[in-house]
Amino acid sequence: MGGVDCRALFLELDMDYAALGDAEARFPQDGMTRLWQRAVELSGNPAIGLNMARVVRPGSLHVVGYALMSSRTLMEGLTRLVRYQRIIAEGADLSLRMLPEGCALTLAIHGDRLPPARQSAEASLACTLAFCRWISAAPLRPLKVCLQGPPPADAEPYRQVFQAPLQFDAEHYGLLFERADLEVPLPSANESLAQLHDRFAGEYLARFSGSRVAHQARQVLCRLLPQGEPRRDAVAQALHLSERTLQRRLQDERTSFQQLLDDTRPDALINLAFYFDWFQREDADATRLATQERAVERLAELCQYHQILLLQPSSYQVFDGTRATAYSEKDEPQPLGLRGQALWRIEQSVRAACPRHVLLRFGWLLDDSKDGILGRFLAAAETQEELLLADDRRGNPCPVDDVARVMLSVLKQLDCAAPLWGTYHYGAHEATTALTLGQAILAEARAFRAFAIGDPSAQAHAACTDAADEPQHAVLACRKILNTFGIKPRAWRSGLPSLLDRFYRHV
């Protein structure tokens, strides 16, 4: 299906392309109508809205997408979509109704001076259906797809995207589902995350209910805060107002610039800005790490100045690996390589600059990134004739989902104003060797790929190419985090199936 150069199109219509990445940004409905009309003219493709089905991911829907993913079922997820739809777009209404023939998700888009473009509604339906298929990992097929307007000259793109009976000239836009299809449990369901996303989404909606000037000023503050303390004149200029006019309008709305600034600042911050370099990158670059050290030091100073809690992740790599038993938080770090040394200096700067901090050291962290530790191992399994892994190198594997659970659990308890600052260790249950971990990953991965290679073979830690930088013994003791926060280590083996499922869905 034909597309267009989106950046050029936004520029032509004097619309801010960068605002697409801002969950709180809003475009006038007539502006979106002109955008779709011009896209059709440039592409010659009246079904261009259906292209949205090809690029949908959780971030496409901001916090609403993650709320859907953590729901127990699609029915529960679509209920959340209806509830939080205004976060995605304010010029539309969604409803979910139970009918004798099935469950109907109905969409209405409201125009301003111009009638809304049909491509806008078609894009919304295609995006919603594609997202539901993605999070359910199933070929979801609606009973019927309702589309306003006459049938197009070529209906094939619609049949390909929706894979369901099409009803044109319908009274409304909508998707009709079999109820049983919506009640199947979702593989990504997580009640704790669902509650957290509900909280974030509720806060978004509460902000939207405010007046327009305050809302626009908050949008500007959100964009400026990462660059430092925003000035009132900069916000006024961004809103095309004088400082006095901005101040007067905010006073009329019973707020002030300082109040908006205080409300917009976060209460807590998880520093994942350089996550890949710290936990996944194969090589360590001294220049990059030095720049990151300075950035974290400045971040810690800002958090202290604004009384923001800083949660800083760190790693087992701050230890030298000479201790055969598990490392506790009381053991003195002696890092080996550049990465471990940088992380240890970062820990020290955070402690010195920001007393309200939590340092979380994790074991071998595994995520679903293509170029991360797991991705490199699986790529090697597909291309190499032999895999050699150390059978005398020990550590705690930590699937990234488990790491996220730990971080959120810590934040929830610190949100209760409990002064539990300090350093904590977390490693998943059952310390193991690199060889055993590789064998377990490969065994699970064979459900997704046929590997010609057999099981990995053993080699000594000293024979590994990274022996000078990687601790031989990296097991972390987790008693402190258990006694303080009640966080129990989970078995890393139980997290492999879902981690590999996500990995192979993305590659």
3-state SS assignment for residue 315: strand
3-state SS assignment for residue 227: helix
- Residue-wise pLDDT tens for the chain (507 aa)? 456 888 888 888 888 888 777 666 667 777 888 999 999 999 999 999 998 888 766 566 778 888 898 999 999 999 999 988 878 876 788 999 999 999 999 998 876 567 889 999 999 999 999 999 999 988 899 999 999 989 999 999 999 999 999 999 999 999 999 999 999 999 989 988 888 888 888 877 776 555 478 877 887 887 777 667 788 988 888 887 778 888 888 888 888 999 888 888 788 889 988 888 888 888 889 999 999 999 999 999 989 988 889 999 999 999 999 998 999 999 999 999 999 999 999 999 999 999 999 999 999 999 999 889 999 999 999 988 889 999 999 999 999 999 999 999 998 888 655 678 999 999 999 999 999 999 999 999 999 988 888 889 999 999 999 999 999 999 999 999 999 999 999 999 999 999 999 899 876
pLDDT of residue 209: 54
pLDDT of residue 146: 96
CA 188 to chain CA centroid, nearest Å: 13
DSSP 132-180: HHHHHTS----SEEE--SPPPS--HHHHHHH-S-EE-S-SSEEEEE-HH
Q: Is the pTM of this model over 0.85?
A: no
pLDDT of residue 87: 80
Q: Among 171, 251, 181, 250, which residue's Cα sits nearest to residue 217?
A: 250
By the 10 Å C-beta count (0-12 exposed, 13-18 middle, 19+ buried), 415 is classed as: exposed
pLDDT of residue 2: 58
Q: How many other CB atoms sit within 10 Å of the CB of residue 155?
A: 13
Contacts of 495 (CB under 8 A, 6+ apart): 399, 401, 402, 428
pLDDT of residue 329: 96
Instruction: Check: CB of residue 112 under 8 Å from CB of residue 28.
Output: yes
Instruction: Check: CB of residue 99 under 8 Å from CB of residue 230.
Output: no
pLDDT of residue 435: 96
3-state SS assignment for residue 368: coil
In angstroms, the CA 447 to CA 450 distance is 8
In angstroms, the CA 226 to CA 229 distance is 8
DSSP secondary structure letter of residue 130: H
Q: Looking at the chain, how many residues does it have?
A: 507
pLDDT of residue 24: 63
Instruction: Check: CB of residue 365 under 8 Å from CB of residue 279.
Output: yes
Q: How many other CB atoms sit within 10 Å of the CB of residue 86?
A: 17
Task: Name residue 104's amino acid.
Answer: A
pLDDT of residue 16: 84
3-state SS assignment for residue 501: helix
The pair of three-digit structure tokens given for residue 163, joined into one six-digit string: 């894979």
pLDDT of residue 415: 64
The pair of three-digit structure tokens given for residue 253, joined into one six-digit string: 């709305």
CA distances from 32 to 4, 37, 131, 232, 344 (A): 15, 9, 22, 30, 49
DSSP 279-320: HT-SS--HHHHHHHHHHHHHHHHHHHHTT-EEEEEEEGGGS-
Q: Among 234, 235, 305, which residue's Cα sits nearest to residue 269?
A: 305
